[in-house]
A and B are shown apart, each in its own frame.
Chain A
Amino acid sequence: SQKIEQNSEALNIQEGKTATLTCNYTNYSPAYLQWYRQDPGRGPVFLLLIRENEKEKRKERLKVTFDTTLKQSLFHITASQPADSATYLCALRGNNNDMRFGAGTRLTVKP
């Protein structure tokens, strides 16, 4: 069956450090992978999309890598700030063409 696993339910880091979140998937052959941010009580907000032929994508302090051999995406936030505290979700299109989400990693950046 298709699975999306985000390595940690929660991740705590110190302000200024780099946060690295992992998304692993099985039984998908995705053309792209997406990352979303979700704040408590709010809908997810799209952050980045990376295609299967792209190794890395950057947007300001965010960096995403995509390794289709390892079936893994890494999401990095450099120079993290307390305002980056949120839950981060990775998402893939399933066989049924529905968007499927990982359970998310709750990131807390401590001042």
Chain B
Amino acid sequence: KAGVTQTPRYLIKTRGQQVTLSCSPISGHRSVSWYQQTPGQGLQFLFEYFSETQRNKGNFPGRFSGRQFSNSRSEMNVSTLELGDSALYLCASSLVPGQTLSGNTIYFGEGSWLTVV
């Protein structure tokens, strides 16, 4: 079955603009989480959605937001872009959120490379 699909793969924006990234999870997966990856900070958790509700949020400013639709697809938005927002944004899907006894493997997409100039 198809993996996690992220679009667009690459994009360039200028400071002050806003951007929307899209993620389609693996079929049947209802939990979607977003991560930002930069060389200096590594992989950092942004937020997690399940059944259209945000369940967890990382330590990022309010300029970073997201949502999940009834078909489990998710979008994240970054407003008023700053140079420091340049990063690889990764989406991951899993069957359910949270920690379970059986472990909850998450599957990543290829990411969206955002460059802010």
The interface of chain A, by Cβ under 8 A from chain B, is 31-32, 34, 41-46, 49, 51, 89, 93-94, 96-104
18 contacts between A and B (CB under 8 A): A31-B103, A41-B111, A41-B113, A42-B110, A43-B90, A43-B92, A43-B109, A44-B43, A46-B106, A49-B103, A49-B105, A93-B98, A96-B56, A97-B97, A98-B45, A99-B33, A101-B35, A102-B42
**Alpha-carbon separation in the docked complex, A94 to B33 (Å):** 14
Partner pick for A31 among B4, B55, B101, B105, CB 8 A cutoff: B101
Residues on A with beta carbons closer than 8 Å to the beta carbon of B55: 97
Residues on B with beta carbons closer than 8 Å to the beta carbon of A103: 42
Q: In the assembled complex, how far is the CB of residue A91 from the closest CB belonging to chain B, in whole angstroms?
A: 8
Residues on A with beta carbons closer than 8 Å to the beta carbon of B111: 41-43
CB of A43 within 8 A of CB of B99, answer no
Residues on B with beta carbons closer than 8 Å to the beta carbon of A45: 108
Residues 43-63 of B, flagged 1 when their CB comes within 8 A of A and 0 if not, give: 101001000000110100000
Chain B interface size range: 20 to 34
Residues on A with beta carbons closer than 8 Å to the beta carbon of B98: 93, 97
Is B107 in contact with chain A by the CB < 8 A criterion?
A: yes
CB of B43 within 8 A of CB of A89, answer yes
**Whose C-beta in chain A lies nearest to the C-beta of B105?**
A46
Residues on B with beta carbons closer than 8 Å to the beta carbon of A44: 43, 90, 108
CB of B90 within 8 A of CB of A101, answer no
Q: In the assembled complex, how far is the CB of residue B34 from the closest CB belonging to chain A, in whole angstroms?
A: 11
